[in-house]
Amino acid sequence: MTTVAADVTVRPPLGRTQAIGWFVVVVGLFTVFGMGVGTGSAPHSTLTFTPIDVSHGAPWHLGNLTLPTEWTLVLLGALIVALGAEVLVRRLVKGAMVRVGLMAIVFLVAVLVWASRQPGPSQVPFINVTAILVGSAAITMILIYGSLSGILCERAGVVNIAIEGQFLGGYLVGEMIDSATNNWLLATVGGLVIGALMGWLLAFLAIRYLSDQIIVGVVIVTMFTGLSSYFNSWVLTPYPNLNNGNIASNLAIPGLMKIPIIGPTFFDETGFFYLMMILVGLVSFALFKTRWGLRVRAVGEHPQAAASVGISVERTRYVNVILGGAVAGVGGVAFAAIQGQFTPSITSGFGYIALAAMIFGRWRPSGAVAACTLFGVSAYLAYNLQSYQVPISTEILLMFPYLITIAVSAGLVGRVRPPAADGIPYSRE
Amino acid sequence: MARVRGLWDRYRSASPVTIALLALVLGLVVGAVIIIATTPEILNAWRGAFHSWGAPGHALKVTFDNVGAAYRSIVTGSIVDPPQFWHSVTTGRGWTASLTPLSETLTYAIPLVIASIAVGITFQTGLFNIGANGQAILGGVAGVAVATLVHLPMVLHLPLTLLAGIAGGVVGGAIPGLLKAYTGAHEVIVTLMFNYVASYFMLFCLLSTPLQLPNQTNAISRTMPGGTQLAPLFGTASGLRVNYGIVVALAVTVFAIWLLDRSSIGFEFRVTGANPHAARASGINARRTLVTSFLISGGLAGLAGVTWVAGTTHYIDQNFLQGSAGIGFTAITVSLLGRNRPIGIVWGSLLFAALEVGGSNMQANTGIPYDLATVIQSAIVIFVATPVLVKEIFRLRTLRAESIKVATAGWGS
């Protein structure tokens, strides 16, 4: 009986996989016939590769690539159809949502190609591939900070839904310190401290008093949304020089940054980007290759067993939730470093998207990086489409990151397995 | 003496009501600390406090004056301003000014009661509907659409407007409900994301020709015709905004009491919320319960949205339920404060509405931003959700209030 039940929950009914497959196929056919074939043979789309920011010297020059719009779209559409067909033919259960994510990106690229066609309605006659990647990398970076924070907390068994609040806290404090001192290092320390404090608050309520973690987390976010709005009008408005920090300048890595496309994307970034890459490696290594990580995961999977071999469950959880808060706080500073001035609710739900990315990435740093890239690229593409006079209104485009998060979380049933004790308060009795 | 002893004993064996009141005290303390830490006048007074004799006393006085003024304006702005009231009693004039605070609190409490009951119903089912705000937005948009685009006599038009609000909310509730039931998508993430989708959808509607006020470039709707508005209780001439929405709120409260305590579906909600495994074992259809709970919750949240528009502003613009005005988020805290019970929610709504309305008055009188009200509310709820902490702070003996729990702890279910 139990094995049958487990089998049913782990393997969702095939019908939905087929629905997903057919959906992808339909999107592909739309790309081929709706956008591709209709444009005719005259229009061309141009891809350029020179980054917008060439302050550190232009990379090796790549010429423009001009593609016939019609055939490019047919090709991209065929690619989407192939993705859908793969889901249908191989009856993919696990990989179906990954294909949907890829479909979203390919489809958005197709829309870009279609929208930038010349002669056509667009004022922007080209697609700057490098600029798109640089922009996507910025959003992805923010999301990865949030996801890492979530991983640190949830691997130890505490749901940190307050990432959004920690982003806000880090953003506000980071922006104020940077405005006052013009020093991003100090700002990072400030964000780290405020994030850690917020993590401690969550840990204190969730671990010591066994409160419901999701409720307390959401209320902490509400509280800091209010507190940061309060701060904005009570402190930042009368002292505007506390909210006029610069955007962090890039630290280009000599040599590597000259590589076309890849260089500007990965090696001509702010310090926060490099810090993020280091953190991803560090968290992966610490969680899966060290004794500390083994203990953390034991606490997240089976706290009673961990306690029986002498691991302090409370202490481990405290440390991890505070660490997670600190990482999210730094993420908030990174947000400020690429976005500039603080305004209320500026983090616009990215903390929650990061949380969804963490779930999609199965509580692993590598998976989270992939999921964050998916969300980051698609969010940036959707925002970027606004400049191409596409016949889709701005508001609909702005919904896109949230819609894709909903769609992806709808495809996860039975396919993710959180740490067994995730979200469950632990008491010694 | 024995009576005092009795009261003291009752206080020490903390009931949920005691905990809520003590949480209010602690929330106000948190608010005071924030005011002290961020108000230049107070900080300057303390900076000079240790340079001369008597200066600490002065600093204390400045502190008490500032915090006192802030909290006094919360009370006078939300309940009653005694001098003004006494003036009305003695002279018989100025009743509008005397009753406005109470009227405003009630006006704000109307949609809050409805939205909080919406959230409370899902909590009772063991689900977490963080999307009440998005559902209320959809309700408001649908209500305004029906009110401004359809032409009917009032007898039909007002009910139809309210129904449209419910329908809009039902759509918003159906999405997380159905997705959770049929794909397992976690309702917390879906509803959180849906709030943003709903906000952008509202902007989209407000900028499209049918709804937008003609000759406008801003996102603003046409005004609802008189026949679709919830009229002020004491007539437009009274100047008091409290409106017939109060009838809607009372009806919803009675409905919720009936639903949760008397109906079989409410029983299924509560059993599922208390123990999903036991519910399944006793033959309750988990999927149907889940979807129904979300549909009812969404519908009520939508009703809250349309009630707010029809009773107060009569139009919506891009600020409708955004930021601190998002009653869907306040509703979560109210529902927790009222322990998800309709009667508790009504009291909680009155308290939090008073804080909001008083907060605006505080901003007008002292300049301290009304967002402080949100912080105080959240602090109150953190304390209510952690009764053991309150018990320790006040050294209470026993604890009759339990912590609040949602059944949806992990992400996998």
Reported as a single tens digit per residue, the pLDDT across B261-289 is 999 999 999 998 888 888 889 999 989 99
Residues A322, A196 contacting (CB under 8 angstroms): yes
Contacts of B368 in chain A (CB under 8 A): 234
Q: Which of residues 26-85 of B touch A (CB under 8 A)?
A: 34, 38-39
| Residue B197 to residue A403, Cβ atoms within 8 A | yes
- The shortest CB-CB distance from B200 to any of A16, A233, A399 is to A399
∠ CA B347-B351-B355, nearest 5°, is: 165
Higher pLDDT, A394 or B118: B118
Residues B337, B384 contacting (CB under 8 angstroms): yes
- The shortest CB-CB distance from B410 to any of A353, A406, A423 is to A423
B409 part of contact set with chain A, CB < 8 Å: yes
- The shortest CB-CB distance from B185 to any of A227, A393, A412 is to A412
Q: Which of residues 226-285 of B touch A (CB under 8 A)?
A: none
Closest CA in chain A for residue B38: A235
Per-residue burial over B40-77, b = 16 or more CB atoms within 10 Å of its CB, e = otherwise: eebeebbeebeeeeeeeeebeebbeebbeebbbbbbbb
Closest CA in chain A for residue B123: A215
Torsion (CA) B324, B325, B331, B334 in degrees, nearest 10:
70
* Residue found under tokens 């829309």: A111
Residues B122, B304 contacting (CB under 8 angstroms): no
B188 part of contact set with chain A, CB < 8 Å: yes
Q: Which of residues 210-269 of A touch B (CB under 8 A)?
A: 210-216, 218-220, 222-223, 225-227, 229-231, 233-235
CA neighbor of B132 nearest in space, from B3, B288, B301, B268: B301
All domains of chain A, ordered by start, with CATH? 2-125 (no CATH), 130-387 (1.10.3470)
| Residue A209 to residue B388, Cβ atoms within 8 A | yes
- What is the reported pLDDT for A33? 87
Ranges of each domain in chain B: 13-87+100-399
ipTM above 0.85, yes or no: yes
- What is the reported pLDDT for B403? 61
CA dist., res. B372 & res. B368, Å (int): 8
Reported as a single tens digit per residue, the pLDDT across B348-386 is 999 999 999 999 999 999 999 999 999 999 999 999 888
A157 phi-psi bin (left φ>0, alpha ψ -120 to 50, beta other): left
CA dist., res. A257 & res. A51, Å (int): 11
Find the mean pLDDT for residues B300-329. 91
Q: Cβ of A182: how many Cβ atoms within 10 Å?
A: 11
Q: Does position B132 have pLDDT exceeding 70, yes or no?
A: yes
Share of chain B above pLDDT 70, in %: 96
* Residue found under tokens 């502190």: B63
- What is the reported pLDDT for A133? 92
Residues A409, A356 contacting (CB under 8 angstroms): yes
How many beta-carbon pairs under 8 angstroms link A with B?
182
Look up residue B193 and give its two tokens. Answer: 């994301």
Supply φ then ψ for residue B216, to 5 degrees.
-120, 145
CATH 1.20.1530 for domain B13-87+100-399: no
- What is the reported pLDDT for B413? 46
Q: Which of A380-389, B39-48, B403-412 is predicted least confidently?
A: B403-412
Contacts of B331 in chain A (CB under 8 A): none
Compute mean pLDDT per 10 residues along chain A, 429 residues long, and list them.
37 67 89 81 82 69 83 92 90 76 87 84 82 93 97 94 96 95 95 97 92 89 94 91 87 83 87 96 96 95 93 95 97 94 89 91 92 90 82 86 86 70 81
